[in-house]
Structure 1
Amino acid sequence: IDEHLINTGELQTRPRHLRKYVELIIIDESDRLNATALEMVRDHYDRDNVAVILIGMPGIEKRFSRYPQLYSRVGFAHEYRPLSKDELRFVLERRWPKYGHPLDPDDFTDAQALAAIARITRGNFRLVDRLFTQMERIMQINELNTITDDVVEAARSTLVIGIT
């Protein structure tokens, strides 16, 4: 933050604890952290007054409850539910044009690909994003400009999916 503010000429010379911004640490896959790493995060939170967001798999708050020093500092836990059919379509309608044309649910090819994406991801937003990343790679390699059921299935085969 300081480097950015120095470059923009906005750095204020007030002490760190009086500045108007908040330092934030975002830790993805935090359920993979061991006890030592969690203690380091807690210590950093306490010493430097930083905000911390821990992102992990469902049930992560139960694991953290075994570490009372950390758990007592948890403000809230939020579990994201899967996207509904309408929400998934909303997301896909905004991603689809990047690949050459808008999503048309009445088009057989689009409808098949849409159904495959819904079946594979079950509305998991993060998985939708990962799947699209792989689909884009497959389309570039094969010089394709249309999302098809085969592209979706090829992308799925390259992912490690932990959903049962």
Structure 2
Amino acid sequence: MNDPAHFVETLEYRRFAEFCEACRRYRYVGLCYGAPGVGKTLSARHYARWDTIRDVNIYTIPDEELKTLLATGQPDTLLYTVSVTSTPKSIEADLAQARNHLFQIVREPILREHKAMLDQQRDRYEEARDAYFADGDWFNLFGEQKPPPEAPAYDEQARLCVQREKAIADPTTLVLVDEADRLKMAGLETLRDSFDRSQIGLILIGMPGIEKRLARYPQFYSRIGFVHEFRPLSATEVRRLLAASWTPPGVRLPPLDEETTAAIVRMTGGNFRLLGRLLAQTERIVMINELPQVTRQAVEAARESLVIGHTG
């Protein structure tokens, strides 16, 4: 489900995307919370295109791939996941590295354009110089020596290139911080300082209750402009997904009848992660028993082999 081709833009994702745009536009701190498995992290990764942008190697990516990446929009959102061992120093360093990565992606096409321009000038000069010395007749009809080809003004061109590169602004306008529940006071202060100095949008993503914990830190809490609750899928949306034969990547299931669909809707409670796991396990049950279609009994058997906690 991390594959962009399999991502489903549900109503909850569209609400989340609108929330992100508001925080970006108004340069606010936003707070997003929701139960585990409802799709918070998946939505953040898709919104930021992080699975694609994170793995970009600017030194090896072909020109066409880089052009295609930037044609879909300038990378302006980064996703930072707080680790269990995060410290203020590591948070600051990781954010700076991620922001620099986005900047390098935006800057790379211009660097390649400048290099191609200077290489073209050098090639033309070397071609003219080789022709001059290969000719052997360096004098014109009046006995005057023909001037050799003039070397290109690299210094002036390099200066113009540097000016253009300096004009490139930092593309980062929004930072999504996942697993924000792991942040301690010092980590929150690091984020607050970064937010105050750069004035970019900032969104903390965590579990229900994080809003109450942050309320104990008035200096940070006073900067929160928007709060968004990421809710489970509605029964209607789960039915729509199943009617469209949606399954997690690599899972193949026959069409479902109404009784089986109702059972899946009831068991998953709109939890996207649980829905994917239940369908994957159902496929295994269907294959083992060589069933021609998915039945309610197969779904119930799949459910018994899963650990199902709170889903709403």
Per-residue CA deviation, residues 119-145 of structure 1 (Å, 9 max, x unaligned), is: 23312xxx32354157437847x9679
The equivalent residue for 2:202 is 52
Write the distance in 2 (CA, Å) between the matches of 1:35 and 1:101: 47
Per-residue CA deviation, residues 58-93 of structure 1 (Å, 9 max, x unaligned), is: 332222111111111111101133332212212334
Amino acid at match of 1:121: T
TM-score by length of 2: 0.39
The equivalent residue for 1:86 is 236
Structure 2, unmatched stretches of 5+, are 1-101, 112-163
Q: Give aligned-pair identity as a percent.
A: 36
Alignment of 1:33-52 (within 5 A): 33-52=183-202
Write the distance in 2 (CA, Å) between the matches of 1:151 and 1:136: 10
Write the distance in 2 (CA, Å) between the matches of 1:103 and 1:39: 52
Compute the RMSD of aligned alpha carbons: 3.7
Amino acid at match of 2:103: D
Alignment of 1:1-164 (within 5 A): 1-9=102-110, 12-14=165-167, 16=169, 19=170, 21-94=171-244, 96=246, 99-100=251-252, 103-104=255-256, 107=257, 111-112=259-260, 114-123=261-270, 127-133=271-277, 135-136=279-280, 139=283, 150=298, 154=302, 157-159=305-307, 161-163=309-311
1:97 CA displacement: 5.7
Verify the 8 A CA contact 1:26 1:53 in the aligned structure 2: yes
Verify the 8 A CA contact 1:22 1:51 in the aligned structure 2: no
Write the distance in 2 (CA, Å) between the matches of 1:69 and 1:163: 33
Residue aligned with 1:55, SS: strand
Amino acid at match of 1:55: I
Write the distance in 2 (CA, Å) between the matches of 1:128 and 1:162: 13
Verify the 8 A CA contact 1:93 1:102 in the aligned structure 2: no
Residue aligned with 1:66, SS: coil
Amino acid at match of 2:166: T
Structure 1, unmatched stretches of 5+, are none
Write the distance in 1 (CA, Å) between the matches of 2:300 and 2:104: 42
Verify the 8 A CA contact 2:176 2:205 in the aligned structure 1: yes
Verify the 8 A CA contact 2:177 2:205 in the aligned structure 1: yes
Amino acid at match of 1:120: M
Residue aligned with 1:96, SS: coil
Write the distance in 1 (CA, Å) between the matches of 2:200 and 2:183: 19
**1:15–1:71 CA distance, 2 compared to 1 (3 A):** farther
**1:67–1:15 CA distance, 2 compared to 1 (3 A):** farther
1:163 CA displacement: 4.2
Aligned length: 153
Write the distance in 2 (CA, Å) between the matches of 1:12 and 1:137: 52
Residue aligned with 2:246, SS: helix
Verify the 8 A CA contact 1:116 1:153 in the aligned structure 2: no
